Amino acid sequence: MTVSPVSPARLTDPELHAGGDPHALWRWMREHEPVHWHAPDDLPGFWSLTRYEDVSTVYRDPRAFSSAHGVLLRPTAQGADPGGGLTLALTDPPRHQQLRRLVARWFSERSARQWEEAVRRAVRAVLARAIERGESDAVHDISARLTLHLIAGLMGVPEGDREDLFRWTNEAFEAGTSLVAHHETMLYFLDLMDLRTAEPADDLVSALVHGSVDGEPLTAEEVLLNCENLVGASENARLSIAGGFLAFLEHPDQWQRLRDDRRLLPTAVEEVLRWTSSATHSMRTATAARDLGGRRIEAGDRVVLWVPSANRDEAVFPHADRFDIARRPNRHLALGTGEHVCIGNVMARAQMRVLFTELLDTVRGFEQCGPYVPVRSIAVNGPEHLPIRLLA
């Protein structure tokens, strides 16, 4: 057996993901150690899954692999995730489906069509500002503003408050901390919850405040944590969009290919999602003993799904390390699958389609004009900063 390029223990080191080559390690693990046990240290012990088939199996079986105990690795000293069993991301059936139904219509195809013109106006405004400035950050000046604008609109955040929310979420994301720990953000949503309790509107916060599960209204804590969950998920969207800019900068032939044939737009969006795989890992907890990938998983064991590895699995994606905007089929797992598939997946795709269309209509192209700085994290990946210049 060939020797691993680096120790699998390095998978919990943010420096590997920011400055090393995790894909080389994942490639070795898929071939030689697809289900690998990590002994506990400051993190609890867990199993690493790197093959598409195993990752998909866990995603699709929420009863055997629970989300209620947390979906991200946390240092043991931090204790359990405060959202466990309370939020859309951290609940199991049947409660997960009940929570999902409360907010599902805001993330539907119909809602995406209704919001498309508002998204287009936001994209045009952001691009016009970027062209005027000359040099912009693809992360903060473009992708972050677009994703925040959309989720804030869905939640009913007034336009006059969105700049504050934009600043607060940036502070939390850059610090690598949960929005729960950002007091201004939480206080803001507590005030908005009070307002929507008295004056309901057609928005997500009103749906949560006035919603119920099994005939019982959600507690204030549940509403607040679900607001945090929804806003926090926008980090993945912003990283995917910014990662899309980087992918096309590194593969200019693919941008020209899209410019020459816009019929490739739907497959280009899917390939950007696969290629960027902005959620680096997702975690589940086994509810009963079972075999997986030739190893015995015991009840209570944590199982970590390395999503970028699954999306480069050569058994599923021919020439997996090639960025190909015409790739078909493309059954990537960047947005999850099964009952816990990202509720914002339709909106994410629609927003990316609008952005790419407006870029094709508005500019000749774009160029990098400064060093790319990657995110330092084992939870998400993509550009922290990506200076670009839009060529009008």
Average pLDDT (247-271) is 98
* Tokens read off for 221: 């804590």
Query: Under a CB-based contact definition with an 8 Å cutoff, are residues 148 and 379 in contact?
Result: no
Contacts of 37 (CB under 8 A, 6+ apart): 45, 46, 47, 48, 295
Q: Chain-wide mean pLDDT for the chain?
A: 95
Q: 138: which DSSP letter?
A: I
Rounded CA separation 207/382 (Å): 32
**Predicted structure pTM score:** 0.96
pLDDT tens, position by position, 224-247 = 999 999 998 889 999 999 999 999
* Predicted confidence band of residue 276 (pLDDT cuts 50, 70, 90): very high
End-to-end CA distance of the chain: 53
Q: What pLDDT was estimated at residue 176?
A: 75
Q: What pLDDT was estimated at residue 371?
A: 95
Distance set, CA 352 to CA 71, 143, 150, 250, 299 (Å): 26, 10, 12, 18, 40
pLDDT tens, position by position, 181-219 = 678 888 999 999 999 999 999 999 999 999 999 999 999
Average pLDDT (112-135) is 96
Q: Is the pLDDT of residue 179 over 80?
A: no
* Tokens read off for 339: 């009952």
Q: Is the pLDDT of residue 100 over 80?
A: yes
Q: What pLDDT was estimated at residue 1?
A: 64
Contacts of 91 (CB under 8 A, 6+ apart): 67, 68, 85, 99
Half-sphere exposure of 367 (CA within 13 A, CB side): 5
Four-point Cα dihedral 266, 267, 271, 274, nearest 10: 80
Q: Is the dihedral of CA 303, 63, 277, 31 positive or negative?
A: positive
Contacts of 357 (CB under 8 A, 6+ apart): 262, 265
Q: Is the pLDDT of residue 3 over 90?
A: no
3 state SS of 65: strand
* Predicted confidence band of residue 177 (pLDDT cuts 50, 70, 90): confident
Taking alpha carbons only, the member of 181, 220, 177, 174 closest to residue 197 is 220
3 state SS of 71: coil
Taking alpha carbons only, the member of 57, 55, 58, 36 closest to residue 47 is 36
Average pLDDT (12-18) is 97
Q: Is the pLDDT of residue 294 over 80?
A: yes
Compute the C-alpha angle 81/179/12, nearest 5°: 55
Rounded CA separation 91/132 (Å): 45
% of the chain at pLDDT higher than 70: 99
Average pLDDT (22-44) is 97
Q: Is the pLDDT of residue 180 over 80?
A: no
Domains and CATH numbers, the chain: 34-304+334-391 (1.10.630.10)
pLDDT tens, position by position, 295-310 = 999 999 999 999 999 9
What is the crossing angle of helices 183-198 and 162-175, to 10°? 140
* Predicted confidence band of residue 268 (pLDDT cuts 50, 70, 90): very high
Q: 140: which DSSP letter?
A: I
